Amino acid sequence: MTQQQRIADYRALSSQLMDYGWFIGPFATGEEHERIKSLGAHITANPPSDDNGRRAIEDKIHKELLDVAFSTRARARYVWLTLRTPHLNEYSHLYESAIFAYYKREYAASVCLLLVTLEGVLLSLNGWRVGQPNKPNFKQLTDTITNLPLVNVNPEMNAIQEAFREALSSFVQRWLYSNMDNADFTLSVLNRHYVLHGMDAGNFYRPQDVHRLLLAFDLLIDLVAIINGTYRSIVEVDLDVYQRRDEFYQQLRGGAIQVHVAGNYEQKLLKEHPNYVAPNQEACIDLHEPGL
């Protein structure tokens, strides 16, 4: 399969999956791509007749796209990218805090942190800072992604950027930032207004929804990094920044670390972020270990 055909498939499949609140992340290649393509063909041949059918399809989509979202190497790479990329590094401490929460299965905390991080990055891309007048409205924020400038690299990379931007923009407009009057809550209540305004105590923190947000950030981080010239498909500098996180995330994911030890190491990693402010005293003095 040519890269041109793969990009065409990406756009068509992401458009199809978007009806269920999903899209394809940046790293769906090879066998995974073919499995997703087969799933798309199955959905076309067997359209759901009711909400239960839609939920069954969502479950199939989630299982196909789970691996990259759950990968400690992918998460470590994206934190590494946020640390070195303008706009993203302003909120990178919140993004990594969401990763910590995710691997500890604190899904509600992870969702809230990711939504706050997304809005902060969009405001930064608009050049807005707290205290300034004319804060961008929601339409302007969503248009930020739709109109995100792309870098002229080569025809193939240009097409990839366009496909990623299209998928991310559609997800944010149709699902995350959808007006509450028009929002589709039959599958998920993951909606910025619903969550951050506490409009209901519904289950916005399903693992599926955390994974959708993580994949959305994969697209956003790649796009902003390409624009700012910091994009790298592999980690080639500051390798220790990546490796320490990969190893720590594996420990969190497996539950093979004590709570106070994990908390101390999280603080150590967070201090590498430019805008993180470490607490000057601990909630429980017995858990404090000096020197970190």
Considering the domain boundaries, does residue 284 fall inside one?
no
**Tens digits of per-residue pLDDT, 130-148?**
999 999 999 999 999 999 9
- Kindly tell me if the per-residue pLDDT of 288 is higher than 60: no
Ramachandran bin of 127, using left for φ above 0, alpha for ψ from -120 to 50, beta for the remaining angles: left
Report which residue type is found at 197.
H
Considering the domain boundaries, does residue 180 fall inside one?
yes
Considering the domain boundaries, does residue 288 fall inside one?
no
Burial class (CB in 10 A: 0-12, 13-18, 19+), 146: middle
- Kindly tell me if the per-residue pLDDT of 69 is higher than 70: yes
**Tens digits of per-residue pLDDT, 166-204?**
999 999 999 999 999 989 999 999 999 999 999 988 899
Please give the residue range of the domain that contains residue 233.
72-276
Considering the domain boundaries, does residue 181 fall inside one?
yes
Rounded Cα distance between 114 and 199, Å, is 18
**Tens digits of per-residue pLDDT, 201-228?**
889 999 999 999 999 999 999 999 999 9
Considering the domain boundaries, does residue 164 fall inside one?
yes
Per mean pLDDT, which range of 16-30, 215-229, 249-263 is the poorest? 16-30
Considering the domain boundaries, does residue 80 fall inside one?
yes
When divided into structural domains, the chain yields a total of: 1
Considering the domain boundaries, does residue 206 fall inside one?
yes
- Asked whether the beta carbons of 232 and 55 are under 8 A apart, the reply is no
Cβ-proximal residues to 145 (8 Å cutoff; 6+ apart), any chain: 122, 165, 168, 169, 172, 220
Considering the domain boundaries, does residue 24 fall inside one?
no
Rounded Cα distance between 102 and 117, Å, is 14
Q: What pLDDT band is residue 107 in, cutting at 50, 70 and 90? A: very high
Rounded Cα distance between 123 and 115, Å, is 12
User: What's the pTM value of the predicted model, to 2 decimals?
Assistant: 0.94
- Kindly tell me if the per-residue pLDDT of 30 is higher than 60: yes
